[in-house]
A and B are shown apart, each in its own frame.
Chain A
């Protein structure tokens, strides 16, 4: 899902077969697939080789302050949050469960998992993901934006550091102005909760499932 802090007005994908599968049966209104014309004018075109991208971590205090996971160094964390509008979907929870299975969170880390909707909550429970989370020592919250913006359900104390799958890491975003937020994907957040420091699932020996 596209979410960023690029000062952009919008971000958009061309709908495709996957979109059709997703919306067919749920759409409450008629929908229409649009695509850009071949000769449409662009301000800029940027090309990226996705095969060169490793899991990313955005350091405090800007989402653009990113490093590849192999360049992170040693950053101990006090809390890990998996959820929010950016990464609280079923796929995200399945990924977290794959990493957490058979592991315990570090005794220094509070792991908070927040399914984004009631439907996701129920499905995660049915699939047995909650057992994995609870066995790992996670707390499972009802859907809420709470911790992402330092509201509640995981506010940070002075000096505390969190790895979070949320979307912003500005000064004081999750609590005390002297706390820190590092942004990552759910796999890295889950692995970090176990390691007690920011790290990758590979450090736990977790094999990435082949598609």
Chain B
């Protein structure tokens, strides 16, 4: 069966020859990401479940970036909770402010996410890594907690909408304009659970 890039990555991570849009699969996750506002909830659920060790200490990435350097006492408590968890679990990819930055700029920069990966993050902007040819998608804190324990997650294989761009860019026009223009044409719910494949 001929497949899209998204189907191929999902199939390989689910250990299947092929996958079809609409199919529910359980797939192995290469990188799971949490930050100082979403990870504390995941960590709480991880503990409630009685889990002791994360699935892979090199593949759970924890970044304090949303309200860090801490904006107030509550934010500081959240960051502290995440830092202590990272220490306890010997998380390799934990970046304290001073080494860190905004998660979605940091992960590609540090070579943590790579082309062909399946990445989930408890942050809706996790889709950024599609720029590298990775399948990446945002999930909730409970999803992240499940991945922290099992290294896997359920996915519904999406249909794909292909977006083809031609022509030279005008002065001062960049990726941001292309995507805002596309959203403007399609609407905020224009892609309806689909995968967006950007090509030229």
Q: Do chains A and B touch in the complex (CB under 8 A)?
A: yes
A45 touches B99 (CB 8 A): no
Q: Determine, out of B45-53, B83-91, B146-154, B166-174, the stretch whose residues face the partner at the interface.
A: B166-174
A88 touches B161 (CB 8 A): no
B178 touches A85 (CB 8 A): no
The CA of A58 and the CA of B175, in the complex, are separated in Å by: 14
A7 touches B193 (CB 8 A): yes
The CA of A39 and the CA of B1, in the complex, are separated in Å by: 9
> 8 Å CB contacts to B: which residues of A21-50?
22-23, 25-50
B114 touches A85 (CB 8 A): no
Shortest beta-carbon distance, B195 to chain A, in Å?
Answer: 5
B130 touches A34 (CB 8 A): no
Chain A residues positioned under 8 Å from B67 (CB to CB): 144-146, 151-152
A10 touches B136 (CB 8 A): yes
B172 touches A56 (CB 8 A): no
B69 touches A142 (CB 8 A): yes
Q: Is A81 an interface residue (CB 8 A)?
A: no
Chain A residues positioned under 8 Å from B199 (CB to CB): 13-14
Main secondary structure of the interface of A (DSSP, over half): loop
The CA of A87 and the CA of B167, in the complex, are separated in Å by: 23
Q: Is B24 an interface residue (CB 8 A)?
A: no
Q: Is B180 an interface residue (CB 8 A)?
A: yes
B195 touches A12 (CB 8 A): yes
Taking A44-B161, A46-B185, A49-B166 as known contacts, 4 extra A-B pairs with beta carbons closer than 8 A to each other, sorted by chain A number, are: A7-B192, A9-B158, A28-B111, A57-B180
Set A44, A55, A143, A184: member contacting B102, Cβ < 8 A: A143
A3 touches B5 (CB 8 A): no
The CA of A71 and the CA of B192, in the complex, are separated in Å by: 29
Chain A residues positioned under 8 Å from B196 (CB to CB): 2, 4, 6, 8, 10-12
Shortest beta-carbon distance, B146 to chain A, in Å?
Answer: 18
B166 touches A13 (CB 8 A): no
The CA of A122 and the CA of B177, in the complex, are separated in Å by: 27
The CA of A30 and the CA of B182, in the complex, are separated in Å by: 33
Question: A3 and B128 in contact (CB under 8 A), knowing A55-B177, A119-B101?
Answer: yes
The CA of A201 and the CA of B182, in the complex, are separated in Å by: 22
Q: Is B140 an interface residue (CB 8 A)?
A: no
The CA of A201 and the CA of B170, in the complex, are separated in Å by: 13
Set A9, A12, A143: member contacting B65, Cβ < 8 A: A143
Chain B residues positioned under 8 Å from A89 (CB to CB): 105
